């Protein structure tokens, strides 16, 4: 029940580390090695903070991961806004997948997708952590579905189009690209995959990378 943005205390010794920077380092460690397979010892090394300070600042390992996931998995409001501004659902999804392709192969972060890989599997003790990742994916899926429904109502997509199928397909490609990135695929390969998959999305194509 502790506030994420805790009110600054009025007395006492000040924090000797940057909480946000430490959280980001923790997130990168989880991204690289997964939730359960990143130890507290790994985290103290990555964050430059001793174990008691981690527990004082973030609660426990689970809360630390969940806060990192919420903070860096992407703000649903931002995604919703991008989807609302896009001319079509197809365009919005292409940009989303392209962004994923770049993120998964970027130099600033580990390969692949934090959301896809950090809690892909695990013990029963970490069930709620996996459920949190599932929930993040459900939010992304719901945003896609709503945007597709808008296009159907606007006549931009055929009346019989199934929003859930298209959203699931986009989500599968996106999460699957994380595996490719971890296997060593480069940015161009992932962008080509993104475009090839979007050929299966009804509506005009802005380009086709599989031939020519």
Partner DNA sequence: ATAATTACATAGTGATCGCTATGTAATAGT
Partner DNA sequence: ACTATTACATAGCGATCACTATGTAATTAT
| Candidate residues 1, 2, 20, 52; the one interacting with DNA per rule CB under 7 A | 52
| Candidate residues 21, 45, 60, 202; the one interacting with DNA per rule CB under 7 A | 60
Q: Which of residues 39 and 135 has its CB atom nearest to DNA in the complex?
A: 39
Q: Which two tokens stand for residue 61?
A: 């390992």
Does 53 participate in binding DNA (rule CB under 7 A)? yes
| Candidate residues 1, 2, 4, 41; the one interacting with DNA per rule CB under 7 A | 41
| Candidate residues 12, 159, 160, 212; the one interacting with DNA per rule CB under 7 A | 12
| Residue 101 C-beta-side C-alpha neighbours within 13 Å | 21
**Do residues 193 and 174 touch, judged by C-beta distance below 8 A?**
no
**Do residues 95 and 144 touch, judged by C-beta distance below 8 A?**
no
Q: Which of residues 40 and 164 has its CB atom nearest to DNA in the complex?
A: 40
- The 3-class SS string of 125-184 reads HHHHHHHHHHHHHHHHHHHHHHHHHHHHHCCCCCCCCCHHHHHHHHHHHHHHHHHHHHCC
With CB under 5 to 8 Å by kind, the binding choice for 32 among a copy of itself, DNA, none is a copy of itself
Does 118 participate in binding a copy of itself (rule CB under 8 A)? yes
**Do residues 181 and 105 touch, judged by C-beta distance below 8 A?**
yes
Quick one: how far is CA 136 from the chain centroid? 8
- Which residues 6+ apart lie within 8 Å of 58 measured at CB? 23, 26, 64, 67
Q: How far is the CB of 113 from a copy of itself (least distance, A)?
A: 10
> x/- binding map, residues 153-182, to a copy of itself, per CB under 8 A?
-----x-xxx-xxx-xx-xxxxxxx-xx-x
| Candidate residues 3, 4, 5, 13; the one interacting with DNA per rule CB under 7 A | 13
Does 82 participate in binding a copy of itself (rule CB under 8 A)? no
CA distance 94 to 57: 39
CA distance 34 to 24: 14
Binding site for a copy of itself (CB under 8 A): 32-34, 36-39, 42, 112, 116-118, 120-124, 126, 130, 134, 137-138, 158, 160-162, 164-166, 168-169, 171-177, 179-180, 182-185, 189-190, 192-193, 196-202, 209-212
Binding site for DNA (CB under 7 A): 9-17, 36, 38-42, 49-53, 55-57, 60-62
């Amino acid at each position: 029940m502790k506030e994420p943005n805790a009110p600054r205390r009025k007395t006492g010794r000040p924090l000797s580390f940057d909480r946000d920077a430490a959280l980001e380092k923790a997130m990168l460690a989880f991204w690289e090695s997964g939730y359960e397979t990143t130890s507290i010892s790994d985290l103290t090394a990555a964050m430059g903070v001793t174990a008691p300070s981690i527990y004082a600042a973030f609660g426990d390992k689970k809360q630390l991961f969940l806060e990192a996931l919420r903070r860096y998995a992407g703000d649903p409001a931002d995604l919703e806004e991008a989807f609302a501004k896009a001319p079509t659902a197809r365009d919005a999804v292409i940009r989303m997948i392209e962004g994923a392709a770049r993120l998964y192969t970027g130099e600033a972060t580990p390969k692949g997708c934090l959301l896809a890989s950090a809690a892909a599997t695990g013990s029963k003790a970490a069930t709620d952590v996996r459920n949190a990742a599932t929930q993040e994916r459900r939010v992304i899926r719901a945003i896609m579905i709503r945007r597709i429904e808008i296009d159907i109502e606007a006549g931009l997509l055929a009346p019989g189009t199934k929003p859930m199928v298209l959203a699931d397909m986009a989500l599968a490609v996106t999460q699957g690209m994380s595996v490719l990135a971890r296997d060593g695929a480069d940015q161009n390969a992932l962008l080509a995959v993104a475009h090839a998959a979007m050929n299966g999305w009804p509506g005009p194509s802005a380009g086709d990378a599989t031939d020519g």
